Amino acid sequence: MGSSFILWASPSSTSFFLQGRFLFPNLYITDHYDSISAVFAIPLPVTSSPPSYIYQYRLQSAAPVPTTAVYTAADANAAVAYSTFNSLRLGISAQSVVGRLIRFWDTHNFNKNGDFMGITILLLDEQDSVINGFIPANLTSQLRSSLKAGSIVRLDGFEVDRIPHMYKITEHQFVIRFISSTRIDEVFVDGPVIKSDKFMVRRIDHLQVLANTNLKLSDVVGEIRSVKGSDLQNNAATSRIVVRLLIEMTVTVNVYLWDEVASTFRGLLKAGDKSQSVVLLTSVNPKLFGGELYLNSTQGTWFFFDTAVPEIAEFVGSVCDTDNGWRLVNEFKYESKCKGK
């Protein structure tokens, strides 16, 4: 026996696909059914233009019918009927995801004269899972304006592929690849509760294991002990900067900042004193040379100074007693007062 449910859509919503996906402008349902036996369109009186319609689909399927969803055009971005990152399947299919866009950056191929390849994005979902996505260069002009760090977004019409084994920036086995049919919309209504960010902070022993493998990029937290480089107050300069970073009580490493990342850090220096600040750096590549560990920035390296970031607060507590050894200067800086520091 067939089951039915009701959806709101605009009168321009005239197309749908039978292969597990019903597609309307700004409205996506991602479930699989065997067939559709009848479609009814009933106009309703409304106060806004254009008018809305009820579309009733009678579904011939032995599978359970999902919870009824009723939405008006104003709710078109509501986060309903989507997959979690851990339930994604390989290939191009009727899958949708909702997540917080925590970071994104331009990706260049420096083995090919720095050619622009596309935009890499990082998404976090309500299950605290992180997945990365990639927007190829030919789609960036139409999609870049939809990218806003911190926003909750819905993705539809993408391809799921296995993530490359090198330079991994998440623990997830898959990557979301944007294709010509991919749509990205910010979620304003009924969005899930998602943390503001997530990091992969590594300790010294893990960094040493990863060094020179290029398998995984890591996030690190530490206290800035010194900054060396030329033209440090000119944020247009992209020459190398060396940051001496205390990452554990007795462990200090050099962090080499390159290209645009060096330029960004110069801008932060110009905005205020960062000496003795505790910073979280993302997506650094650990290296060993002459038995000494150092860290290289990558195109995905971002800087976080906010003392409300849990990883920064945890670092302060683990390296030196907060009450006696560190003084909170402002919301973006701890000052070390540890003996011998």
pLDDT tens per residue, range 228-271: 999 999 999 999 999 999 999 899 999 999 999 999 999 999 88
Query: Helix, strand, coil shares of the chain as percentages rounded to 5?
Result: 15, 40, 45
In terms of Cβ atoms closer than 10 Å to its own Cβ (0-12, 13-18, 19+), residue 268 is middle
Please indicate, yes or no, whether residues 249 and 169 belong to a single structural domain of this protein.
Answer: no
Q: How confident is the model at residue 46 (pLDDT cuts 50, 70, 90)?
A: very low
CA proximity to 129, closest of 88, 80, 177, 178: 88
Asked if residue 194 belongs to a domain, the reply is no
3-state class (DSSP) for residue 81: coil
Asked if residue 80 belongs to a domain, the reply is no
pLDDT at 96: 94
pLDDT at 74: 37
Domain boundary among 123, 151, 186: 186
CATH of the domain at 132: 2.40.50.140
The tokens describing 48, both together, are 């806004």
CA distance 62 to 105: 45
Please indicate, yes or no, whether residues 170 and 259 belong to a single structural domain of this protein.
Answer: no
The tokens describing 80, both together, are 């309903």
Considering only residues 259 and 58, tell me which one the structure prediction assigns the higher pLDDT: 259
pLDDT at 190: 83
Please indicate, yes or no, whether residues 160 and 118 belong to a single structural domain of this protein.
Answer: yes
pLDDT at 335: 54
Asked if residue 192 belongs to a domain, the reply is no
Q: Is residue 136 reached through a cis peptide bond, with omega within 30 degrees of 0 on the bond before it? A: no
Residues 314-331 pLDDT 10s: 998 887 554 444 444 444
Asked if residue 195 belongs to a domain, the reply is no
**Percentage of the chain modeled with pLDDT above 90:** 61
Please indicate, yes or no, whether residues 113 and 59 belong to a single structural domain of this protein.
Answer: no
Domain boundary among 136, 152, 186: 186
Residues 151-202 pLDDT 10s: 999 999 999 999 998 999 999 999 999 999 999 999 988 889 999 999 999 9
pLDDT at 80: 64
Asked if residue 105 belongs to a domain, the reply is yes
pLDDT at 54: 30
Please indicate, yes or no, whether residues 11 and 126 belong to a single structural domain of this protein.
Answer: no
Residues 98-154 pLDDT 10s: 999 999 999 999 888 889 999 999 999 999 999 999 999 999 999 999 999 999 999
Please indicate, yes or no, whether residues 228 and 310 belong to a single structural domain of this protein.
Answer: yes
Q: What average pLDDT does this structure show over 216-236?
A: 95
Please indicate, yes or no, whether residues 326 and 210 belong to a single structural domain of this protein.
Answer: yes
pLDDT at 137: 97
The tokens describing 6, both together, are 């009701």
Q: Does 22 score more than 50 pLDDT?
A: no
Domain boundary among 26, 57, 75: 75
Asked if residue 191 belongs to a domain, the reply is no
Residue 136 CB neighbour total at 10 angstroms: 15
Q: How far is CA 285 from CA 6, 17, 279, 280, in A?
A: 51, 44, 16, 14
Q: Which domain holds residue 137?
A: 85-186
Q: How confident is the model at residue 83 (pLDDT cuts 50, 70, 90)?
A: very high
Asked if residue 140 belongs to a domain, the reply is yes
Please indicate, yes or no, whether residues 257 and 332 belong to a single structural domain of this protein.
Answer: yes
pLDDT at 66: 35
Please indicate, yes or no, whether residues 157 and 101 belong to a single structural domain of this protein.
Answer: yes
Please indicate, yes or no, whether residues 172 and 239 belong to a single structural domain of this protein.
Answer: no
Asked if residue 198 belongs to a domain, the reply is no
Please indicate, yes or no, whether residues 52 and 135 belong to a single structural domain of this protein.
Answer: no
Please indicate, yes or no, whether residues 177 and 220 belong to a single structural domain of this protein.
Answer: no
Question: Total structural domains in the chain?
Answer: 3
CA proximity to 153, closest of 65, 77, 74, 242: 77
pLDDT at 93: 79
